[in-house]
Amino acid sequence: MATIIILEALDKNAKVQHRHFIQSLPYYVGRGYSNDLVLDDDFISPEHIKIDLDVEGNLVTSDMGSTNGLYLFNNSQRVSSTIAKTGTEIRIGHTRLRFRKPDYLVKEALKDSLHDHLLSRVMNKRWLLVLLWVAVLSVIAIDQYIGNFNQYSIAKLLSQLLFDYIVVAVWVAGWVVANRLTTNATNFGAHLFVAGLGYASLVLLDGFSHYISYVFSMAEQRLWLEYGTTLLVISAVFYGHLRYCSLAMPKRVVATAAGVSLSVVSLMWFQDAVDDSFSNTIDLTVRLKPPVFNVVVSDQLSEFFASSATLKEQVDQETTRGRDSK
Amino acid sequence: MPMFVTRSGLILFVFFLTCFAGLQSVAAKEDSSRELFEQYKSLILQVKILYTASGKKSSIGTGFLVKQGGYIVTNYHVVADLLLKPQQYNAVYITESGKTGQLKVVSVDVVHDLALLKADLDNQAYFEFNPEPIQKGTEVYSLGNPRDLGFVILSGNHGGLVEPSLYEKIHFIGALEPGMSGGPSFTVDGKVVGVNVATAGNLLSFLVPSKHVVKMLEDARSLPQNLLVLAQQQLQANQSTYMSDFIRHPIKTTRLGRYRVPDKLSETFRCWGGDVLSKPKPYQIIEQSCESKDDIFLNEDHSTGTVSYKHLLISSDKLDAFKFYTLFEAKFSRLLMAVEGREEDVTNFSCQEKFVVNHGLHLKVVYCARGYKKFFGLYDVVLKAATVDQKKMGLQTALLLTGVSFQNAQQFAKKYLDSITWQQ
């Protein structure tokens, strides 16, 4: 026999379960112990198929009079024999078999990005981890400090943040459990870190968006700033968590993270778009910041009021719409 | 001891005398009241607004005959529901003798809270008017059906015009009750001086001067078909009168810290204010508010025709600039948040927001407006501004104009903002 043939038993996802090297022909496959390959499949006959060369030198698989027969994979037509080339898949009983030759080309090895990942490198440096946690806590502390104009006490601050802490803790616990189920490791430190970083970014970006809203007079566009922030933070956080939970390719993780954040933001957008409920309040949160941030050129009084023509159009449109719908 | 008896006896005697004297005058008054009631009771009727679907009572008022052919005057606010939602309501009258029938709204004067109705009555007699001013203290009698308890007459005194006010009213010193709204108040010779309109507590009630009724009757000959259009024209004309007055005259200012801010626009406003010195707090707020004294009733949840404004001077020497602006922002968002009105009356507010520099003052200005759905061309407008050039001090102001034209609002808002200055 000139070439070695490799026979692979596959599972339903085409993953190889076991692999056999056919060194000599004929080669017998069945449930009986006299076969070259013994398969424990109740739907396979004791002597099921024979693999051998025909007169023209083709590798032929033939049925040896089995109960359930021989099939080409994904074909319901029972055959008595079939020529096997490399890549040919057959089915006997409930077992899927594939032929391969040793010259079959396999793909290059994947780059191990999990262990070479920036996050992993950070996770391995304790001092960096501590430093980042200090940064996270500082951001929260500064936010709380600026946001409180009345008496400031640590106890009050902690109690205000208690709910946030509980949410973060539950979030981390969820990811740890998911991680354990998928890869057998918990990666508790990593998930805690990703969640903490996400929380701090949320606080930071929210604060930042207030300044943007003030500087560029964007109170009307408040929702878009909110969408942008949410999109950014959710995709980053999901990416961070998923990297530890799955062995999937980074591309797939990126896609999942983007998908999750996009659907969350779409849901937010949809909710806001559908909500045209009446309110007799001025639903506009105008931000006010210290004079240092007055960097945009101001209108003159007459300019400001001249631009209110657009406002009139907007209101009149709504008025007529309200009347027409009646 | 005997001394004491004598003295208390004397006091008792004096007390009784006073009582009898009082009783005597009350009795005389009662006589004339009784006569007047008998004389005029056939000229008044109860106005009932009913839900068409259930036939249940929605509101009640009083009306009185003013012309042959069953023409009746009452308050606009009594029949407002009927006018705004004619499919849901209908109106009936009940006379003192118990006769009932349907009522139709013929005309309104929404600004002065008057309505002209028509009943299927074939009356010969009706009330006459005295539109001339009469002397303060003159005895005035009022007819009506308070709280659906039956027709009554009560006497009071003419308290003169409530002055100054955007919407002229007569002060009636007597106890008008709900349900008497729309009834006539007349002198002893039966001439109507005003229409019962509102009560502001014990012995403090208001009448619409009868000259407005006379005007409504005169105008009733040439009316637009649609009464809502008529009401809209009246509201437009009214706002245009007082707004152009405000726009024409310079705005008087008052000092607030180192700022000058609009003071009482005219005598038709009332202003109040004070320091809000919350001791344990690291900041202080000084507040000043003004509002026009009267409003125009459109419906139970919506009145209009008002001008109001408020200034806040906020300062702190304890907070740093970031903390101060957190406080400043929080106060600004709470400054004039809601304006009354329901979904069927008005749209949502739309706003524009910008930095404005004026007289060297840097301001963040927000200008919001919403439209009236039933009275097209009228708006509620809100102007809010906050100074943003000081680190630990700032002025905030909010102006609310209800039921005005967009142009008038814009002109006045600009003038208002322009009057705010900073003193070195």
Is residue B205 located within the same domain as residue B278? no
A220·B346 Cβ contact <8 A: no
In tens, the pLDDT along A47-106 reads 999 998 888 888 899 999 999 999 988 888 899 989 888 888 999 998 999 998 888 888
- Say yes or no to pLDDT of B417 above 90: yes
Is residue B195 located within the same domain as residue B307? no
How distant, in Å, are the alpha carbons of A169, A183, A259, B312 from that of A239?
A: 18, 16, 11, 48
Q: Which residues of B touch A314 (CB under 8 A)?
A: 350
Share of residues in chain A with pLDDT > 90 (%): 25
Pairing type for strands B152-162 and B169-173 reads: antiparallel
Is residue B152 located within the same domain as residue B249? no
Is residue B180 a part of any domain in this protein?
Answer: yes
In tens, the pLDDT along B365-384 reads 999 999 999 999 999 999 99
- Per-residue pLDDT, averaged over B79-86, amounts to 89
SS3 assignment for A146-194: HHCCCCCCHHHHHHHHHHHHHHHHHHHHHHHHHHHHHHCCCCHHHHHHH
B364·A217 Cβ contact <8 A: yes
Is residue B178 located within the same domain as residue B323? no
> Do A70 and A80 meet the contact criterion of CB atoms below 8 Å apart?
yes
The residue with tokens 């809209």 is: B232
The residue with tokens 């007169």 is: A55
Q: B312 or B424, which is more confident?
A: B312
pTM of the entire predicted model: 0.79
Q: In chain B, positions 237-296, which contact chain A (CB-CB < 8 Å)? A: 280-283
Is residue B325 a part of any domain in this protein?
Answer: yes
Is residue B155 a part of any domain in this protein?
Answer: yes
The confidence score (pLDDT) of residue B277 equals 63
A298·B355 Cβ contact <8 A: yes
How distant, in Å, are the alpha carbons of A177, B76, B197, B304, B333 from that of B341?
A: 52, 18, 22, 9, 20
The confidence score (pLDDT) of residue B253 equals 93
Model confidence band, residue A116 (pLDDT cutoffs 50, 70, 90): low
Q: Name the most confidently modeled range: A180-194, B167-181, B342-356.
A: B342-356
Is residue B138 located within the same domain as residue B243? no
How many CB pairs lie under 8 A apart between chains A and B? 167
> For chain A, what is the mean pLDDT?
85
The confidence score (pLDDT) of residue B201 equals 61
> For chain B, what is the mean pLDDT?
86
What CATH number should be reported for the domain holding residue B331? 3.40.1000
The confidence score (pLDDT) of residue B166 equals 79
In tens, the pLDDT along A36-57 reads 999 999 999 999 999 988 888 8
Model confidence band, residue B27 (pLDDT cutoffs 50, 70, 90): low
The confidence score (pLDDT) of residue B29 equals 59
Is residue B4 a part of any domain in this protein?
Answer: no
Is residue B195 located within the same domain as residue B54? yes
This complex has an ipTM of 0.81
The confidence score (pLDDT) of residue B15 equals 42
Q: Which residues of B touch A317 (CB under 8 A)?
A: none
The confidence score (pLDDT) of residue B4 equals 40
DSSP per-residue codes, A32-89: STTSSEE---TTS-SS-EEEEE-TTS-EEEEE-S-SS-EEETT---EESEEE--TT-E
Is residue B236 located within the same domain as residue B194? no
Q: In chain A, positions 209-228, which contact chain B (CB-CB < 8 Å)? A: 214, 217, 219-220
A298·B341 Cβ contact <8 A: no
Model confidence band, residue B362 (pLDDT cutoffs 50, 70, 90): very high
Q: Which residues of A touch B353 (CB under 8 A)?
A: 217, 219-220, 284, 286
Is residue B191 located within the same domain as residue B310? no
In tens, the pLDDT along B122-181 reads 888 899 998 788 888 889 999 988 878 888 898 888 888 887 777 888 888 888 888 888
Phi, psi of B193 (to 5 degrees): -100, -20
Model confidence band, residue A322 (pLDDT cutoffs 50, 70, 90): low
Pick the range with the lowest mean pLDDT from A109-113, B142-146, B414-418. Answer: A109-113
**Ramachandran sector of residue B270 (left: φ over 0; alpha: ψ -120 to 50; beta: rest):** beta
Pick the range with the lowest mean pLDDT from A288-297, B60-69, B193-202. Answer: B193-202
Domain boundary (B165, B199, B223) is at B223
Name the amino acid, one letter, at A37.
L
CA angle B244, B247, B253 (to 5 degrees): 145
Is residue B356 a part of any domain in this protein?
Answer: yes
Q: Which residues of B touch A308 (CB under 8 A)?
A: 352, 367, 369, 410
Domain boundary (B223, B248, B272) is at B223
A278·B325 Cβ contact <8 A: no
**Ramachandran sector of residue A217 (left: φ over 0; alpha: ψ -120 to 50; beta: rest):** left
CA angle B330, B336, B337 (to 5 degrees): 75
Q: How many domains does chain B have?
A: 2
The confidence score (pLDDT) of residue B402 equals 95
The residue with tokens 């604060």 is: A207
CA distance A222 to chain B (A): 12
Pairing type for strands A70-72 and A89-92 reads: antiparallel
Beta bridge partners of A29: A37, A49
Domain boundary (B206, B223, B240) is at B223
For residue B172, the enclosing domain spans 41-223
Nearest to B239 by CA among B381, B124, B384: B381
Is residue B112 located within the same domain as residue B52? yes
- Per-residue pLDDT, averaged over A155-180, amounts to 86
B405 to chain A: nearest residue by CA? A312
Model confidence band, residue A193 (pLDDT cutoffs 50, 70, 90): confident
Q: In chain B, positions 376-405, which contact chain A (CB-CB < 8 Å)? A: 376, 379, 382, 384, 386, 388-391, 394
A294·B355 Cβ contact <8 A: yes
Q: Which residues of A touch B324 (CB under 8 A)?
A: 149, 290
Q: SS3 of B55, please?
A: coil
A319·B347 Cβ contact <8 A: yes
Phi, psi of B176 (to 5 degrees): -70, 145
Is residue B11 a part of any domain in this protein?
Answer: no
Closest residue to B323, CB basis, from A146, A220, A298: A146
The confidence score (pLDDT) of residue A250 equals 73
Pairing type for strands B184-186 and B191-199 reads: antiparallel
B342 to chain A: nearest residue by CA? A280
Write the CB contacts of B88 (distance below 8 Å, at least 6 apart in sequence).
B51, B52, B53, B81
